């Protein structure tokens, strides 16, 4: 029993740590899509953010510079997407995919040109990355049964972006549902013509939404290269942007269900690592390939069967054209 | 004016029979990229050594996806490259497809086996080198638990794991080895976040030494070792310097030797097709000692590793390469 509890704490700890970038990316997608702009370029923006963070942190010697650079770089990509799909009314899927391909190629190329390390940025020394923070008193209570383990092993020892994600999620949800800006944003994703009739700029609102997406994706990328990892490595986002998109759809474009979906994906991924090589009665050792499949199987099963009807924002994916 | 010296040398070489005057070689890296501080970088080191010693430049190519392998091989074969080295198992199918089309070209694989008259295959006895670092891990652990993290789950990486397990068992029986793999696709080589997560999990479960065979993903394992103040063991290239004092040692896979030999042999006209297996006896695998791990890799560990090496080279100790295989001569 105690071992089961210790294992559970470990898995939950890993869930929190690895979910943070996923949550940031999913909320990035949330803002964009609720405003009617489909964004499958989350992956690319995250990856490019990770590269910008790794490069800036290594060159300028501060993880905060890295975070800032990541948010800026990712916002630039988001604005490119915005220009194509909002101003030029281009296809949103094509543009998003183009962003992914650009980021996957450009980041290692720039890294190679600047650092000559085969598309990686230099390893970050401890001062240049977001180190794990030990919460006050964590060492003192570590020996207390149950509570000690929960506090010291579960809540303590994450990096600053993970901790900031928690209040940020609440703030973002409030902005979306309790502010005038949020109302307008949601309206622009449901019925842009009505927003236009009310005398508000559809383009302006969508640009703002896309910029928020850029900032959040950048933070997600920085969490990868300067928080969880120590430097940028090509393709290090490893499909998390797409997973975030799945979480967003599974969460039916609502903040807290999306958050739940991200945590579920994080949990399954952590569980997957723990299940490798474990001997089960009757079944024997589960093959690694099988456990690796679990997060994806879960995604498909949830999307196909259990999640009910997914109704995206009405104007999602539709460029807005004024009738003149 | 950097070309003057090589050009001058080449002029000299023209006069010497048996040497190809206009020697053109190309090194094709795999997806990890040239400076992955691991497998590909070892190949680069070997090619650079050839360049430094013979003053002859070479081309290299870094693919961005597996689909480029065959295309790149054909391109360099068409452009009359004498020696084409495909670094990594991923080139096996591509070389099998391309080599018969260009029977005059010399193809050299690393880690792959392609049985064709114009292909030289170089493989390594990774299990022997892994055995040695397993010996070190078994002696270094204070918790009595050690770990292994592989990249993509393929038989080649299983060989690292199995050799390592035997090495641990050889010095200290009943030390459990906890093993994880990052993934089952090529993406597993470039996922340091996942690898670090697996490593943190192992460390939290009482492991205090982890040997990784995961290419660039393994950097995550070394980072986790640094964060937890535990030990990691590097792979392929000397990775001791990535986190000085935290990398117990590195299992060197001398891809550099294989690449250097291929280029030298081809240049001197002594290149032969066939299969070469480089083990401890041939200097194909080794462990790394430098200033970064001089303090932590104790004399006792080195002595135990060297004793095991001597036994393996002499044939008194046979390291099995796969589970249940190759034991007993």
Taking the CA atoms of B226, B228, B231 and B234 in sequence, report the sign of the dihedral they define.
negative
The CA radius of gyration of chain B, in Å to the nearest whole number, is 20
Identify the band that residue B7 occupies on the pLDDT scale cut at 50, 70 and 90: low
Q: Measured in whole angstroms, how far is the alpha carbon of residue A71 from the centre of its chain?
A: 13
pLDDT confidence of residue A323: 67
Whether A51 is covered by a domain: the verdict is yes
- Choose among A13, A269, A277: nearest Cβ to B179: A277
pLDDT in tens, B230-243: 999 999 889 999 89
In total, how many domains does chain A have?
1
B276 touches chain A (CB under 8 A): no
Residue B6, pLDDT score: 58
DSSP-assigned states of every residue in B269-302: T----EEEEE-TTTTSEEE---TTTTTTS-HHHH
Q: What is the pLDDT of residue B312?
A: 95
Q: Over 50: is that where the pLDDT of B4 sits?
A: yes
Within-domain flag for A281: no
H-type helices in chain B, by residue range?
4-15, 39-54, 68-78, 92-98, 126-140, 155-171, 192-204, 218-228, 255-267, 299-314
Q: What is the pLDDT of residue B17?
A: 43
pLDDT at B15: 44
pLDDT band at B19 (very low <50, low <70, confident <90, very high): very low
Please check whether residue A239 touches B, CB under 8 A. Answer: yes
pLDDT at res. A117: 78
- In chain A, the percentage of residues whose pLDDT exceeds 90 is 53
- pLDDT category of residue A294 using cuts at 50, 70 and 90: confident
Is B270 or B22 the better-scoring residue by pLDDT?
B270
pLDDT score for B67: 87
Q: What's phi and psi for B286, nearest 5 deg?
A: -165, 175
Region at B311 (left for phi over 0; alpha for psi -120 to 50; beta for the rest): alpha
Residue B86 backbone class (left: φ over 0; alpha: ψ -120 to 50; beta: rest): beta
In a domain, A258, yes or no: no
Q: State residue B14's pLDDT score.
A: 47
Statement: residue B2 has pLDDT above 90: no
Average pLDDT over every residue of A117-129: 84
Structure confidence at residue B186 (pLDDT): 80
pLDDT of B100 reads 95
Q: Chain A closest CA to B194's CA: distance in Å?
A: 9
Q: Is the pLDDT of residue B28 over 90?
A: yes
B40-55 confidence digits (pLDDT tens): 989 999 999 999 999 9
Q: pLDDT at position B131, please?
A: 96
A247 assigned to some structural domain: no
- In this predicted structure, the answer to whether residue B251 has a pLDDT above a threshold of 70 is yes
Residue A25 CB contacts under 8 Å (≥ 6 apart), including other chains = A42, A46, A216, A217, A220, A240, A241, A244
Cα pseudo-dihedral A312, A314, A316, A319, rounded to 10: 170
pLDDT of residue B21: 56
On whether any CB of chain B is under 8 Å from the CB of A229, the answer is yes
Residue pLDDT, tens place only, A1-30? 577 888 888 889 889 888 999 999 999 999
Q: How far is B198 from chain A (nearest CA, A)?
A: 6
A212 found inside a domain: yes
Residue B41 sits at the chain A interface (C-beta within 8 Å): yes
The nearest CA of chain A is from the CA of B103 a distance in Å of 32
Closest chain B residue by Cα to residue A3: B205
**Residue A26 lies in domain:** 2-237
Taking 60 as the threshold, does the pLDDT of residue B327 lie above it? no
A265 falls within a domain? no
CA distances from A140 to A135, A151, B200 (A): 10, 10, 22
Domains in chain B: ranges and CATH: 4-124+255-278 (3.40.50.2300), 126-253+298-314 (3.40.50.2300)
Q: Kindly report, residue by residue over B75-85, the tens digit of the pLDDT.
A: 999 999 999 99
Query: Are B181 and A288 an interchain contact pair (Cβ–Cβ within 8 Å)?
Result: yes
Contacts of B194 in chain A (CB under 8 A): 238, 269, 273
Q: Where are the beta strands (DSSP E) in chain A?
A: 279-280, 284-285
pLDDT-based confidence at A324, cuts 50/70/90? low
Please state, for a pLDDT cut of 70, what percent of chain B lies above it: 91
Selected residue of A229, A242, A267 to mutate for chain B interface (largest B Cβ count, 10 A): A229
- Using an 8 Å CB-CB cutoff, list chain A residues near B223: 229-230
Question: How high is the mean pLDDT of chain A?
Answer: 88
Task: Give the per-residue pLDDT at B300.
Answer: 94
Contact A233 B187 (CB under 8 A): no
The pLDDT value given to residue B75: 95
Does any domain span residue A297?
no
**Substitution target from A17, A46, A118, A132 for chain B, most B beta carbons within 10 A:** A118
Lowest mean pLDDT among A80-84, A227-231, A302-306: A302-306
Report CB contact under 8 Å: A132, B227: yes
A133 assigned to some structural domain: yes
Q: How confident is the model at residue A259 (pLDDT cuts 50, 70, 90)?
A: very high
Residue A183 has pLDDT above 70, yes or no: yes
């Amino acid at each position: 029993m105690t071992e089961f509890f210790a294992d559970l704490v470990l898995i939950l700890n890993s869930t929190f740590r690895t979910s943070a970038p996923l949550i940031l990316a999913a909320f990035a997608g949330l803002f964009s899509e609720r405003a009617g702009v489909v964004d499958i370029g989350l992956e690319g923006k995250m990856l490019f953010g990770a590269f910008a963070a790794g490069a800036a942190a290594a060159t300028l010697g501060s993880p905060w510079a890295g975070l800032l650079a990541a948010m800026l770089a990712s916002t630039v990509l988001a604005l490119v997407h915005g220009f194509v799909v909002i101003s030029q009314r281009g296809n949103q899927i094509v543009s998003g995919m183009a962003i992914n391909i650009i980021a996957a190629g450009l980041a290692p190329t720039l890294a190679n040109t600047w650092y000559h390390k085969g598309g990686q940025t230099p390893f970050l020394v401890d001062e240049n990355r977001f180190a794990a923070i030990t919460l006050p008193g964590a060492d003192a209570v570590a020996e207390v049964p149950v509570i000690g383990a929960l506090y010291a092993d579960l809540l303590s020892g994450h990096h600053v972006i993970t901790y900031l994600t928690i209040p940020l999620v609440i703030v973002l949800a409030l902005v979306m549902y309790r502010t005038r800006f949020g109302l307008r944003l949601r309206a622009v994703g449901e019925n842009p013509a009505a927003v236009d009739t009310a005398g508000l700029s559809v383009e302006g609102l969508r640009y703002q939404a896309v910029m928020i997406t850029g900032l959040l994706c950048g933070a997600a990328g920085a969490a990868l290269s300067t928080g969880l990892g120590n430097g940028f490595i090509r393709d290090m986002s490893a499909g998390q942007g797409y997973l975030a998109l799945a979480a967003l759809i599974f969460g039916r474009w609502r903040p807290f269900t999306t958050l739940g979906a991200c945590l579920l994906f994080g949990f399954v991924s952590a569980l997957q690592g723990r299940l490798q090589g474990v001997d089960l009665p009757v079944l024997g050792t589960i093959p690694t390939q099988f456990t690796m499949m679990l997060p994806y199987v879960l995604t498909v099963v949830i999307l196909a069967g259990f999640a009910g009807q997914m109704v995206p924002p009405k104007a999602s994916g539709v460029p807005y054209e004024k009738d003149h | 004016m950097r070309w003057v010296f090589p050009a001058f040398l080449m002029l000299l070489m023209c006069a010497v029979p048996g040497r190809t005057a206009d020697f053109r070689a190309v090194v094709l890296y795999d997806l990890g990229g040239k400076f992955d501080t691991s497998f590909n970088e070892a190949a680069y080191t070997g090619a650079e050594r050839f360049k430094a010693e013979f003053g002859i430049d070479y081309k290299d190519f870094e693919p961005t996806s597996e689909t480029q392998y065959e295309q790149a091989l054909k391109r360099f074969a068409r452009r009359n490259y004498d020696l084409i080295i495909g670094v990594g198992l991923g080139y096996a199918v591509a070389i099998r497809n391309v080599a018969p089309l260009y029977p005059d070209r010399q193809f050299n694989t690393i880690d792959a086996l392609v049985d064709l008259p114009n292909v030289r295959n170089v493989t390594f006895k990774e299990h022997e080198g892994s055995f040695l670092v397993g010996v070190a891990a078994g002696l270094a652990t204070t918790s009595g638990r050690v770990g292994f993290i592989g990249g993509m789950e393929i038989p080649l990486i299983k060989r690292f794991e199995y050799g390592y397990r035997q090495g641990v068992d050889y010095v200290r029986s009943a030390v459990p080895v906890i093993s994880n793999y990052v993934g089952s696709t090529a993406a597993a080589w470039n996922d340091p976040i996942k690898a670090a997560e697996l490593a943190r999990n192992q460390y939290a479960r009482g492991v205090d030494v982890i040997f990784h065979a995961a290419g660039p993903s393994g950097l995550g394992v070394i980072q986790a070792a640094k964060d937890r103040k535990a030990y990691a063991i590097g792979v392929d290239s000397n990775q001791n310097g990535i986190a000085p004092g935290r990398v117990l040692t590195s299992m060197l896979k001398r891809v550099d030797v294989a690449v250097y030999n291929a280029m030298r042999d081809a240049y001197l006209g002594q290149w032969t097709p066939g299969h070469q297996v480089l083990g401890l006896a041939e200097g194909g695998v080794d462990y790394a000692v430098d200033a970064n791990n001089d303090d932590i890799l104790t004399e006792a560990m080195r002595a135990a590793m060297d004793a095991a090496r001597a036994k393996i080279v002499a044939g008194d100790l046979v390291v099995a390469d796969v589970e249940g295989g190759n034991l007993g001569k």
